[in-house]
Copies of this chain bind each other. A is one copy, B any other.
């Protein structure tokens, strides 16, 4: 597609770790990135836990992260832990299917360097990876548009953590399981829930989920 003659701007290639729970998508990305000059895939992970372990071992420049991970911790939590890690943490480039406001803000607050849609052209992906490797933020055009166009879409201003809680809530988890999923105590979960109820104008979890789905605060 692009000329292979275009060399990487820097001597060393950008070292990438790919994290996506879909094996086919992962394999496709690997094949695609192999064709890109100046980009080298050094590992692949199918779960958040795997990504954390591999990142610690491989120290990649950039982690390409899908927000929707089937089992275990989700992409946001993985991103949070990746970027919060002591020492040289990788830049996380979120590559996902959806562009809901909640997702973008949660990802950015968790420390993501960029947010790309899978609908993007491959060239955009390559460019974003090279940007991310240097810590320069990158947003997909439609996403950037939304962000510019105002948090107008964000009628309810939930904090990042509150949205995390809400996401787990919508999976039907109890407080204990939410706590485990996010590595916090049940007491903290309850505190967040209380604030969420206040902000959404409800007084129980069923109502919160209903409002969240209605306002499209969730994926």
Any chain B CB within 8 A of the CB of A27? yes
Q: Is the CB of B207 within 8 A of A210?
A: no
Given contacts A22-B117, A206-B208, 13 further A-B contacts (CB under 8 A): A23-B122, A24-B116, A24-B125, A25-B28, A25-B118, A170-B210, A172-B202, A172-B207, A174-B204, A205-B205, A209-B209, A210-B213, A213-B213
Contact segment of A8-16, A31-39, A153-161 = A31-39
Any chain B CB within 8 A of the CB of A171? yes
Closest-CB distance, A138 to chain B (whole angstroms): 14
Instruction: List 5 A-B pairs, minimum CB-CB distance, nearest first.
Output: A172-B207, A28-B28, A31-B31, A22-B118, A213-B213
14 contacts between A and B (CB under 8 A): A21-B119, A22-B97, A22-B118, A23-B118, A23-B119, A24-B117, A27-B28, A28-B31, A31-B31, A31-B32, A172-B210, A206-B208, A206-B209, A213-B213
Kindly name the residue among A25, A29, A95 whose own CB sees the greatest number of chain B CB atoms within 10 A: A25
Any chain B CB within 8 A of the CB of A70? yes
Q: Is the CB of B31 within 8 A of A203?
A: no
Chain B residue contacts of A213, Cβ below 8 A: 209-210, 213-214
Chain B residue contacts of A208, Cβ below 8 A: 172, 206
Q: A210 to B174, alpha carbons, bound, how many Å?
A: 14
Any chain B CB within 8 A of the CB of A120? yes
Closest-CB distance, A43 to chain B (whole angstroms): 15
